Amino acid sequence: MKEYQKYLSVETLMGPNSLRLLEELLSRFPPVLSKDDIVLDLGCGKGLTTLAITRETPAKAYACDLWITAEENTQRFAQWGIGDRAVAFHEDANDLHFSKHLFQALISVDAYHYFAGTRGFFDKKMLPLLKDGAEILIAIPGMKAAYTGQAEALLSDWLGNDAYMFKSMTEWRDIIGTHERIDRVDIWEMDCFESAWNDWFSTEHEFALSDKPFFETLIRPYTCFIGIRIRLK
């Protein structure tokens, strides 16, 4: 993390530190990639995860986000010196226009819960884009196992109408489902919860300040970060 500290700021962070989450994903399940491979960084935000993907793997990254324009991220990638290995896209995850079987890996950090919380999404929207043997690494906020199915009742004061997006590991395993191309699915409660949130609060971003009053009463007691690793045959 130390080598990325200078890139963390109120301008680049959009929530709990995405680099902490990515670091845990990559250390637990390091993908085997070559310089000829392409990684889809889905929901890349302002590109911090894209930066790390290009630094920590030899692969090229396609950085895709709905909220941040491709022009903005392209400029940022050039400033960071990764413009030759990171390509920015402005697309909706429900309507991606990439070629079939293009990606050797898919990485999505603190974004997948916004668009993929229904059964069938992975099969219909993601699988066609992935090569055989591809690795999928996902980190998302969710509910602790003891509070499965209670997100709207417990978190509405904090999240309002978005509380339904927070699901448990059991619910996410069911949403991903089974498919003949899936070799295995690993799901776990991530270890970097405290550090990722503390990095976010340290920015004093207006959204971080609005999250902070709920941390001890709702966020810490009921929620966690969920790591998901899917390996294809």
**Both structure tokens of 57:** 């793997």
Q: pLDDT by residue for the chain (233 residues), tens digit each?
A: 778 999 999 999 999 999 999 999 999 999 999 999 999 999 999 999 999 999 999 999 999 999 999 999 999 999 999 999 999 999 999 999 999 999 999 999 999 999 999 999 999 999 999 999 999 999 999 999 999 999 999 999 999 999 999 999 999 999 999 999 999 999 999 999 999 999 999 999 999 999 999 999 999 999 999 999 999 99
Pick from 66, 88, 53: nearest CA to 14: 66
- In Å, what is the CA distance from 73 to each residue of 38, 63, 99? 18, 8, 22
Alpha-carbon distance of 189 to 105, in angstroms, equals: 21
In the chain, the amino acid numbered 138 is I
Go through 91-117 and write b for each residue having 16 or more CB atoms within 10 A of its CB, e for each that does not: eebeebeeeeebbbbbbbbbbbbebbb
Say which residue the tokens 């990171």 belong to: 86
- 2-232 falls under which CATH superfamily? Vaccinia Virus protein VP39 (3.40.50.150)
**Cβ proximity of 142 and 25 under 8 Å:** no
pLDDT digits (tens, 9 = 90+) for 2-46: 789 999 999 999 999 999 999 999 999 999 999 999 999 999 999
Coil, strand or helix at 120: coil
